[in-house]
Amino acid sequence: MSTDPPAAEPSALSRRTFVATTVAVGGAVAAGDLVVGPSAFGAEPSTAAETGPSTRVSLVVNGRRLTVVVDNRTSLLDLLREHLGLTGSKKGCNAGACGACTVLVDGRRVNSCLTLAVRLEGAEVTTIEGLAKGERLHPLQQAFIDQDAFQCGFCTPGQIMSGVGCLKEGRTGSAEEIREWMSGNLCRCGCYVKIVRAVEQAARWK
């Protein structure tokens, strides 16, 4: 038995650090822009654009303006996960039936698996990674911890983004209303009663 814990493997975190750095520095592109296209970032030249008809799209993700060249078939979910290193949004069904991929587009909660990235010209996207203000968690993130509103944690980013949408929509008048308006997010661990409490907690905080 070695004394040291096993060496950490490169994680999504390191990739995200890289993205943040690139954006902050500005790189070779115009102020704050990040071009994601053939070999623009990541270790490999394999990107969205080389295997099918593609389109250049400019959008804002978590407050950062990006210009990306995407395969027309690429979903917003796959753009986030496979090309931007934002793996917080999850693929549970890829068919709009589980809600694990929920993000905000122009302030509205949507299923990113059914959203073609090519259609997002000018859109503002917020994912779970963009919710906290630095180290300060969004009140709903904190409420999820406080209420133990998750177990495995896989549906959690989608639940939280959906909950943020639910709060914005003002559908938090009663537990019953929250239950109905949070029903687009499956939780197989069965944390629903606590998810409702977490949304209630965040609604009170507002």
Partner 1 sequence: MYPFSYTRVSDLRTAVQAGSDGGRYIAGGTTLVDLMRETVERPGKLVDISALPLREVTATKGGGLRIGALMRMAEVAAHPTVRALYAVISQALELSASAQLRNMATIGGNIMQRTRCTYFRDVTASCNRREPGTGCAAREGFNRTHAILGTSEQCVATHPSDVAVAFAALEATVHLLGPAGERTVAFSDFLLRPDNTPQREQSIRQGELITAVEVPAQPRPLRSGYVKVRDRQSYEFALTSAAVALHVRGGVIQVAKVAAGGVGTVPWKLSAVEQRLIGQRPSEALWTQAAEVAADGAQPLAHNNFKVELLKRTVERQLRVVGGTR
Partner 2 sequence: MSPQPQKAVGSPLSRVDGRLKVTGKAAYAVDHDIPGAVHAVVVDSSIALGRITGIDTSAAEACPGVLKVITHRNAPRLVYRDNPVSNNPRGRRLRVFQDDQVLFFGQPVAAVVATTLEAAQHAASLVEVSYEARQPTTDLAGRPGNPLLNYARGDAEAALASAEVRLDREFHLARNHHNPIEPHATIARWDGDKLTLWDKTQYVIGTQNEAAAVFGIPVENVRVISPFVGGAFGTGLRTWPHVAIAALAAREVGRPVKLALSRRQMYFTVGYRPRYEYKLRLGADRQGRVTAMAHEPTYETSNHETFWEATLFLGQMLYNVPNVSQTLRTVSLDVNTPLWMRGPGFSSTSFCIEVAMDELAHELGIDPVELRLRNEPTRDLSTGQPFSTRRLRECFRVGAREFGWDRRNPKPRSTRDGDWLIGTGVATGCYDTNRARAEAHARLDANGTAVVQSAASDAGPGTYTSMTQVAADALGLAVREVEFRLGDTLMPPAPPQGASQLMASVGSAVQDTCDKLRQQAISLAVGDRRSPLHGVNPDDVVVIGGRLQVKDQPARGETYRQLLARNNLTHLEANGLYNPEAESPYSMYAYSAVFAEVGVDVNLGLVRVRRMLSVYDAGRIISPKLADSQAVGGMVGGIGMALLEHTVTDHRDGRIVNANLADYLVPVNADIRDLRAIYLDGDDRKADPIGVKGLGELVKVGVAPAIANAVFHATGRRVHELPITAEALL
Which residues, listed in sequence order, are joined to residue 104 by a DSSP beta bridge? 109, 126
- With contacts defined by CB under 8 A, name the span among 22-30, 33-41, 104-112, 172-180 that binds partner 2: 172-180
Q: Which residue is associated with the tokens 């209303």?
A: 177
Rounded least distance, CB 33 to partner 1, Å: 21
CB-wise, 62 or 185, nearer to partner 1? 185
Tokens of 85: 């290193």
Q: Which does 102 bind (CB under 5 to 8 A by kind): partner 1, partner 2, none?
A: partner 1
Dist. CA 1–CA 116, nearest whole Å: 49
Residues 6 or more apart whose CB falls under 8 angstroms from that of 134 comprise none
User: Are the C-beta atoms of 58 and 66 separated by less than 8 Å?
Assistant: yes
Of 24-32, 33-41, 104-112, 123-131, the window that binds partner 2 (rule: CB under 8 A) is 123-131
Cβ(160)–Cβ(140) under 8 Å?
yes
| CA end-to-end span of the chain | 51
The footprint of partner 2 on residues 15-54 (CB under 8 A) is: 15, 42-44, 46-48, 50-52
Helix%, strand%, coil% for the chain, nearest 5: 40, 15, 45
Structure tokens at 70: 């995407």
CA-based diameter of the chain, in Å? 55
Residue (15 or 91) nearer to partner 1, CB: 91
Rule CB under 8 A: say whether 202 interacts with partner 2: no
- For residue 119, the partner it binds in partner 1, partner 2, none, with Cβ less than 5 to 8 A by kind, is partner 1
Residues found near partner 1 in the complex (CB under 8 A): 52-53, 55, 71-73, 75, 94-96, 99, 102, 108-111, 114-116, 118-119, 121, 162, 165-166, 169, 171, 179-185
Q: Which residue, 36 or 100, is less far from partner 1 as judged by CB? A: 100
- The entry of partner 2, partner 1, none near residue 50 (CB within 5 to 8 angstroms by kind) is partner 2
